[in-house]
Amino acid sequence: MRSNDSRFALRLWQIGVLLAVFALWHVLTVPGILPSFYFGDPNKAPFFFGEPLKVLSRVWNWFAGGDIYRHLWVTLVETMLAFFTGTVLGIGIGIWLALAPTASAIFDPYIKALNAMPRVILAPIFTVWFGLGMASKVALGVTLVFFIVFFNVYQGVREVSPVVLANARMLGASPRQLLRHVYLPSAMSWVFASLHNSVGLAFVGAVVGEYLGSSEGVGYLILQAEGVFDINTVFAGILVLTAFALVLDGIVSLAEKKLMVWQPRSGETERI
């Protein structure tokens, strides 16, 4: 009961902070509330900060009219394709290089160089290669997701306990059985630990790709609004993207709880 009460109190505080931010935003952008020296012209609001009531009205009209759903769907598909493709490639190549020291030594400088490269600069190249459709956004998202998954898997496989490996070999485990029952579980625990970052980066890749060049998606809506200096629509798009990212993060948290039920909770191993 106490935990439920504390969770409820925490939610109230979080909602209170959000309302306080919107109240402060309203005070700072609506003429007549603060002294006129703040605005310069008492009849005009600061142009580049938008007005929260108009921003919320724009979001409401998007969802009430149904215009936003197609763009949200496009962004979601791009995010999920980038996430799954980058994750699969990261797991496969990470396990391969972790189990192949010679190949790892050969490709190590190239992987580090690619990881150090700002991937956003690849967006125009992908647009030229794949066009303004989904493919260029997925490609950018894959480059963001791949490396975080790759390094986690690579580290997870290399840190498998030598005792566990020795015991498995002593029991007659074949290389395929070692991969399935020892290396993969070790790698997957590291992958699940990075799920939040991976899906977040896939989302960033999709939105940045849309913003730099696209014909649909939430990033496209923001780009169009910027083109006509509609700052309220820009902030509306940012709010929608933020809420969308929180929903994706919540889905990842639920999946993590379902898939990681075997993992002991914090403090349980110490009690054992």
R_g of the chain computed on alpha carbons: 24
Query: Which two tokens mark 128?
Result: 């030229």
Residues 12-27 have a mean pLDDT of 83
> Which of 24-28, 38-42, 241-245 tops mean pLDDT?
241-245
Q: How confident is the model at residue 44 (pLDDT cuts 50, 70, 90)?
A: low
Query: What is the rounded distance in angstroms from the CA atom of residue 256 to the CA atom of residue 245?
Result: 16
Q: For residues 86-102, b (16+ Cβ closer than 10 Å) or e, as one string?
A: bbeebbebbbebbbeee
Interval 161-185 mean pLDDT = 68
**3-class SS of residue 228:** coil
User: How high is the pLDDT of residue 167?
Assistant: 67
Nearest Cα neighbor of 50 from 74, 25, 68 is 25
Structure confidence at residue 17 as a pLDDT band (50, 70, 90): confident
CA distance 257 to 139: 29
Task: Summarize the confidence of residues 98-124 as an average pLDDT.
Answer: 85
Q: What is the pLDDT of residue 35?
A: 57
How many whole angstroms from its chain centre is CA 145? 9
* 249: CB partners within 8 A, 6+ apart: 196, 199, 200
Summarize the confidence of residues 40-63 as an average pLDDT.
73
- Give the per-residue pLDDT at 142: 92
Domains contained in the chain, CATH given? 1-49 (no CATH), 63-271 (1.10.3720.10)
Which pLDDT score is estimated for 271?
A: 47
Distance (Å) of CA 241 to CA 116, 144, 166, 217: 27, 18, 49, 11
pLDDT the model gives residue 113: 87
Q: How much is the pLDDT for 40?
A: 52
What pLDDT score was predicted for residue 4?
A: 67
Angle among Cα 238, 244, 248 to the nearest 5 degrees reads 145
Give the whole-angstrom CA distance, residue 201 versus residue 142. 9
Percent of the chain at pLDDT exceeding 90: 2
Q: How far apart, in whole angstroms, are the C-alpha atoms of residue 50 and residue 65? A: 22
Most confidently predicted of 26-30, 54-58, 86-90:
86-90
Q: What are phi and psi of 49, to 5 degrees?
A: -110, -5
Residue 9, Cα to own-chain centre: how many angstroms?
28
pLDDT for 85 equals 92
pLDDT of residue 30: 72
The amino acid present at 113, given as its one-letter code, is A
216: pLDDT strictly greater than 50: yes
With bands split at pLDDT 50, 70 and 90, how would you rate the model's confidence at 269? very low
